[in-house]
């Protein structure tokens, strides 16, 4: 067995909008081209909801971490606790809370900081990461796990695979969704959605965009709010996406307590008032109604636009769809890659079931998720087909996956890879965004080199003329790209 002293550990808490997941990563002390070869050794789900739900009682957040922290302390050798870094990254739930109530967001983070400062690990802070960072880190994770950055050769050393194509990343969380994929440098250089990543000595140019309020949970709240807005009978509402024979009653705060739906609240809004939605299990009407969540007509050029007027180059190559994408496909008894026709037929079959039939279809039955899978399936259809422009031909290139070789596909591993790149010291992994465009930097480099060459030639010319003034002359050409 390997000597534990030759290993390093890192802990990342993925504080999502609906839950927090703790990951423990381990890598050898020796690194490959300044980036550690990282493996996931533990995944622990924190009990309760996401940290943003503790806005009114931030002092209660730390106790939710305690059970997972006990597992971690047992797994990591005690003598390495002090050198093990621990980081908390919060995503869209906290991004929304910060916009809505910055003081509450700060108090939640401060409570977390105080807790981890009392732990034996090297706490490096709790921060809210941007949607763009979340997208890029998810892309790094997916490609790292699929072996697109490194592989072991015949001599058991790590090398870069020859001619391997990177995979795009599709992440569906509770409050936001991200798309990230490699592009040519000339594509959309004037947009802030183009970023540059350097891993294992190689540079990659990515398109990445995060849609706030388009995570699964927030999108469904908006959907319910729109059903209420469009209904003439406010006391009896039907929901075509809920199963037949199912009804759910919510306080209005469930729908309108979010920044994403605040603009849709009725004039006589009272948070404690309740409303009941009765399911009709109508897949055709569900698909039609869910389309209203997107503005597909706001694009000046649909060929290079997703929705809501957001620029996007044409999708290309393979993609991995994880998190909410995977869980929804799994509920439809689908995983991996499959045709768009298969996805649609499975969606129709699932959405036509009555509430009493669903426990027979779902291996793990939880009301909150079971009632919403039909909505989620139609939502994914509109997002991928109407939004990202996947077609019947390109849809099979999307692989719905949860993990690779027991390592979860999540932004947290990419985050850890970035951090290991800076242990003990190193250059920044990600520049967000490329400003100025990358090729301008290349031109600048060529110009500097050309200037130095020119100066050197002039110097040689001057020296030569002093020695043999009439015998030598120099003809030089400077090339630039």
Spatial separation of the C-alpha atoms in residues 417 and 199, rounded to whole Å: 9
In the block, tokens 């006391």 appear at 235
Contact 278, 368 (CB under 8 A): no
Kind of pairing between the strands at 7-15 and 85-90: parallel
Spatial separation of the C-alpha atoms in residues 208 and 139, rounded to whole Å: 9
Angle (deg, nearest 10), helices 283-290 and 340-351: 120
Element (H, E) at 403: strand 403-404
Cβ atoms within 10 Å, residue 326: 22
Mark whether 134 is an active-site residue: yes
The CA angle 133-138-140, to the nearest 5 degrees, is: 95
CA distances from 273 to 222, 253, 277, 341, 395 (A): 17, 8, 14, 42, 43
Q: Tokens in use for 320? A: 């991995």
For residue 320, the number of C-alpha atoms closer than 13 Å in the C-beta half-sphere is 25
In the block, tokens 């503790």 appear at 54
Burial of 12 (0-12, 13-18, 19+ CB in 10 A): buried
Q: Which of 133, 134, 218, 220 is catalytic?
A: 134
User: Residue 480: what are its φ and ψ, rounded to 5°?
Assistant: -140, 160
Spatial separation of the C-alpha atoms in residues 140 and 167, rounded to whole Å: 9
Spatial separation of the C-alpha atoms in residues 100 and 86, rounded to whole Å: 28
Beta bridge partners of 238: 278
| Residues 199/129/208/196 CA torsion (nearest 10 deg) | -30
Q: Looking at the annotation, which residues are catalytic?
A: 134
């Amino acid at each position: 067995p390997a000597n534990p002293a030759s290993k390093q550990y890192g802990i990342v808490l993925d504080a999502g909008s609906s839950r927090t997941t703790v990951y423990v990563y381990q890598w050898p002390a020796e690194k490959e081209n300044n980036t550690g070869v990282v493996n996931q050794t533990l995944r622990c789900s924190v009990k309760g909801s996401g940290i943003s739900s503790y806005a009114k009682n931030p002092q209660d957040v730390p106790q939710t971490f305690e059970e997972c922290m006990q597992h971690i302390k047992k797994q990591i050798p005690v003598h390495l606790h002090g050198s093990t870094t621990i980081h908390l990254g919060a995503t869209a739930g906290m991004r929304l809370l910060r916009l809505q109530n910055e003081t509450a967001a700060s108090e939640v983070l401060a409570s977390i900081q105080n807790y981890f400062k009392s732990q034996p690990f090297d706490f490096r802070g709790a921060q809210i990461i941007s949607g763009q960072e979340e997208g890029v880190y998810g892309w790094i994770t997916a490609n790292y796990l699929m072996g697109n950055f490194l592989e072991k050769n015949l001599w058991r050393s790590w090398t870069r695979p020859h001619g391997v194509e990177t995979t795009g990343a599709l992440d569906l969380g509770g409050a936001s969704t991200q798309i990230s994929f490699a592009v040519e440098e000339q594509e959309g250089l004037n947009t802030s959605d183009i970023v540059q990543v350097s891993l294992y000595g190689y540079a990659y140019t990515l398109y990445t965009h995060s849609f706030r309020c388009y995570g699964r949970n927030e999108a469904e709240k908006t959907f319910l709010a729109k059903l209420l807005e469009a209904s003439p009978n406010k006391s009896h509402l039907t929901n075509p996406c809920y199963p037949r024979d199912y009804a759910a009653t919510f306080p209005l705060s469930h729908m309108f307590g979010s920044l994403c739906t605040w603009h849709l609240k009725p004039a006589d809004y009272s948070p404690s008032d309740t409303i009941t939605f009765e399911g009709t299990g109508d897949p055709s009407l569900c698909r039609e109604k869910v389309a209203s969540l997107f503005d597909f007509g706001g694009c000046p050029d649909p060929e290079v636009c997703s929705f809501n007027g957001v620029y996007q180059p044409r999708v290309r190559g393979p993609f991995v769809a994880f998190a909410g994408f995977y869980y929804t496909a799994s509920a439809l008894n689908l995983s991996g890659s499959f045709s768009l026709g298969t996805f649609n037929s499975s969606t129709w079959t699932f959405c036509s079931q009555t509430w009493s039939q669903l426990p027979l279809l779902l291996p793990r039955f939880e009301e909150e998720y079971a009632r919403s899978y039909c909505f989620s399936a139609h939502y994914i259809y509109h997002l991928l087909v109407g939004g990202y422009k996947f077609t019947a031909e390109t849809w099979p290139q999307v692989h719905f996956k949860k993990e690779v070789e027991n390592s979860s596909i999540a932004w947290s591993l990419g985050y850890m890879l970035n951090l290991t790149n800076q242990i003990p010291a190193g250059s920044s992994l990600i520049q967000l965004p490329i400003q100025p465009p990358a090729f301008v930097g290349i031109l600048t480099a060529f110009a500097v080199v050309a200037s130095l060459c020119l100066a050197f030639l002039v110097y040689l010319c001057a020296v030569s003329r002093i020695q043999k003034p009439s015998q030598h002359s120099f003809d030089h050409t400077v090339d630039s790209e």
